[in-house]
Amino acid sequence: MKRTQFNISVSEDTFRIDTKNTSYMLGVRDGLFLGHFYYGPRIIEDDITYRSAFAPEGRISRTDREMVIFMDGFRFEYPGWGAGDSREGALKVQYEDGTTRVCPLFRGYEISSSKAPVPGLPSTYAAEGDVGTLRIDLADPDTDVEVSLFYSAFYEEDVIARRVEVRNGGDGKMVLQRVLSAAMDMPGRDMQGRPFELLTFHGTWAREFTRQIDPIPFGRIGVSSICGKTGNRAQSFLGIVSPGITQEEGEVYGLQFLYSGNFSSMVEKCPNEDIRVSVGIHPEEFSWVLMPGETFYAPEVVMTYSDHGLGRMSRSFHDLYRRHLIRGKYKEQKRPILINNWEATYFDFNTEKLLRIARQAKDCGIEMLVVDDGWFGKRNDDNTSLGDWTVNEEKLPGGLSVLSSKLKEIGLKLGVWFEPEMVSPDSDLYRAHPDWAIMIPGIEPSRSRNQLVLDVSREDVRDYLFSAVSDIIREADVAYVKWDMNRQLSDLYSAALPAERQGELLHRFVLGVYDLQERLLTAFPDLLLENCSSGGARFDPGMLYYSPQIWTSDDTDAYERIRIQEGAATLYPLSSLGAHVSICPNHVTGRNVPFMTRGHVALAGTFGYELDITKLSEEDLTEIKRQTVLFHRYNDLIRNGDYYRIASVRDNGAYDCYGVVSKDKSEMLLTFIHVINRPCTPNRFIHLKGLDGEKRYRVTWAEDPEEQPEVVAEAYGSTLMNAGLTIPCMNGDFRSVLYYIEEI
Ligand code: GLA
């Protein structure tokens, strides 16, 4: 008997979840064990239970003579702990007698036409009827641990969202010691028989999103964070890719974790060449007491598969995030062009200085002034006052509301920087509530930037922060908040948790951050939130649920940004990448890049400025006026279009090229950057991507006034994609050009 609903089919003991181009199959072996059968290109139907095994043939019972061999080789969908499977477990529970075995067995399933939000956590969403959800229930009959696995199919985007709930169905206390959100046992070779490789992104401050592809060795390999936030050392993303993966060719399984705290994204290659992929909250520094009847909700993982290279994976994630994760007023709106005073003034500013910047900015087409760090308490350097969210009237007489109304007269909105999760030991807040900081009583805590972390797992701390931040937003009519977070967590202890629950602190901290941001967005639905963490140290899909944009890196050097933004755009839509034009020599690298190129690179992001505009030459001011016009002309396309990576300076060492094509393939914006000049450099032939081969297009310089654009070429899409477009050689380093390609 076969039953199909909402792209989910059930036949015998097999479940199939279809998206436009992929199928995902799981099933039950001998009525007990939930196995992973298949994930790959769309298939119709057929019994493929044979794919579940590197395991003994024949019927398996729990008292089988060789049960351990079965447990150790079966392709599990959600492996437990301690029953003979020696690979990475997904679930480990400690009971009152100290034992930890858990073996979840199949119990039942349900299909629904909707996707419920996950309590307290970010998650993908869809309207009722737009997404099918398969729920599979498992239970360990010996211990009363109950597990529900949820799979929601985003058909158009080729994405499956997975998550897990664990319930204490018994009458004793349980302690969850690990609850990963997804696991998958799969063949270790691609369809051409080549061993899969691992794609990850590593980094550090000012060097986020560095791509790395390595062979997968036998044993365990992966990326993780145990610093209390996602961190810049690695994205939680895992890509299982064919060797030599390109933008168009090769297979890729991409998994992303919708979570902003500790993670573990691991791949384990087994002796039989199978690989087990597992993603979830890092089991280190995690435990959770589950009382009878209580449920634990693990964060969501989104997965996609592409047999058309990395490009399709990126576009699937971009569409998913733009349509089904990012929320609020700015989900579909152009964001105001901002100017941020950080690199312009650092801590040294006052109302007059800001207004001078604002007047000049307005004249150039900029729409919002963001007052960064230093407007509150006694904050003249980074040693003091975090937590004291009251205006420093020496710098800003009359407060931010006076600045705000003066900005309004000029015609600019006001944005404000906060770092709500932090407290300076030198602050009134700390002096009043030392127990609000995360630190172990009697031990001097490790400081970072001379600051400590507030225990936002506590409701009283969140209430204080909510009222402090919202008072400022209300009083000064703040249109935008930059929510920063500039250190990792250490010295873990919460004065509000009993000893047996201290292991819950890091997850409760993340839930607290989510709760605070949700409360703010509910109170101020028009607020534009930009998350930030020393640059991109908390750039993760969990944060995108609250803020449609995230500051990508403190490195604003356009050359570095080409690489950072290429890495970021592999996973995230351009509409979410915080990108600004800053001054040269660049404050981080000391490099000089032409003003025009800086603008072109920042246009492939949210776009804004971070410099003292009152000190620029007339020539640069004229360039800003041109850039702000370009932003308005092309931002709809950049925000909503399909992203195509055409050439990477990472590969060729000389030039970089990418484009954005509208969904109806009627227009494209192409960015070409001539990175390093060499003598006798030839003209480049760039093979465009994503156009309609049958359509005829006109290519113009994107910067020409719309009325009389100079025509560079007129050709069919097939010509531009196959024969290519000639980009004339440019003289000098870091030169760039934008082309606009429009259907005629
Ligand atoms: C972090 C941010 C910067 C800036 C400073 C202010 O480093 O990433 O953009 O806001 O803090 O202290």
Amino acid at 212: Q
- Please state the pTM of the whole predicted model: 0.97
| Domains of the chain from N-terminus onward | 2-324 (2.70.98.60), 338-463+487-526+542-640 (3.20.20.70), 644-743 (2.60.40.1180)
Q: How far is the CA of 299 from the centre of ligand 1 (A)?
A: 28
DSSP string, 378-425: T-SSTTS-TT--SB-TTTSTTHHHHHHHHHHHHT-EEEEEE-TTEE-S
SS (H, E, C) 258-295: CCCCCEEEEEEECCCCCEEEEEECCCCCCCEEECCCCE
- pLDDT tens by residue, 225-249: 999 999 999 999 999 999 999 999 9
Q: How confident is the model at residue 56 (pLDDT cuts 50, 70, 90)?
A: low
Q: Is the pLDDT of residue 506 over 70?
A: yes
**545-584 pLDDT tens trace:** 999 999 999 999 999 999 999 999 999 999 999 999 999 9
Residue 59: pLDDT over 90? no
What is the C-alpha to C-alpha distance for residues 568 and 580, in angstroms, rounded to an integer? 15
Q: Which residues contact 553 (CB under 8 A, 6 or more apart)?
A: 206, 207, 208, 209, 535, 536, 560, 561, 564
User: Is residue 58 very low, low, confident or very high in pLDDT (cuts 50, 70, 90)?
Assistant: low
Q: Whose CA is nearest to atom 2 of ligand 1?
A: 534
Given the structure tokens 């059930």, which residue do they identify?
10
How far the first Cα of the chain sits from its last, in Å, is: 52
Q: Which two tokens stand for residue 344?
A: 């312009």
Pocket test for ligand 1, best of 554, 609, 611 (most atoms within 8 A of CB): 554
Contact residues of ligand 1, CB 6 A cut-off: 342, 372-373, 382, 417, 484, 486, 532, 534-535, 551, 554
C-alpha triplet 497, 490, 298: angle, nearest 5°: 60
Per-residue pLDDT at 708 exceeds 90: no
> What is the CA(449)–ligand 1 centre distance, in A?
11
Cβ atoms 138, 105 nearer than 8 A = yes
The tokens 């400025």 sit on which residue?
609
CA of 357 relative to ligand 1 center, distance in Å: 19
Does residue 2 register a pLDDT over 70?
A: no
Q: Which run of H or E residues covers position 518?
A: helix 505-523
What pLDDT band is residue 514 in, cutting at 50, 70 and 90? very high
Ligand 1 pocket mutation, candidates 417, 539, 550, criterion most atoms within 8 A of CB = 417
Q: Using the atom order of ligand 1, give the atom closest to the CA of residue 372.
A: 10
Which residues are catalytically annotated?
Answer: 484, 554
Tell me the mean pLDDT in the region 270-286.
Answer: 97
Name the least confident of 59-73, 212-226, 288-302: 59-73
Alpha helices in 609-648 (DSSP H): 618-640
Ligand 1: centre distance to CA 527 (Å) = 20
329-361 pLDDT per residue, tens:
999 999 999 999 999 999 999 999 999 999 999
Instruction: Give counts: helices (H), strands (E), the chain.
Output: 14, 40
- What is the structure's pLDDT at 574? 98
- Ligand 1, atom 6, lies closest to the CA of 373
536 close to 550: Cβ distance less than 8 angstroms: yes
Instruction: Quick: pLDDT tens for 360-393.
Output: 999 999 999 999 999 999 999 999 999 999 999 9
- The CA angle 30-32-34, to the nearest 5 degrees, is 100
pLDDT at 560: 98
Q: Are 353 and 403 in contact (CB under 8 A)?
A: no
Q: Looking at residue 196, what DSSP letter applies?
A: P
Measured between alpha carbons, how far is 525 from 518 in angstroms, rounded to an integer?
10
> pLDDT category, 639, cuts 50, 70, 90?
very high
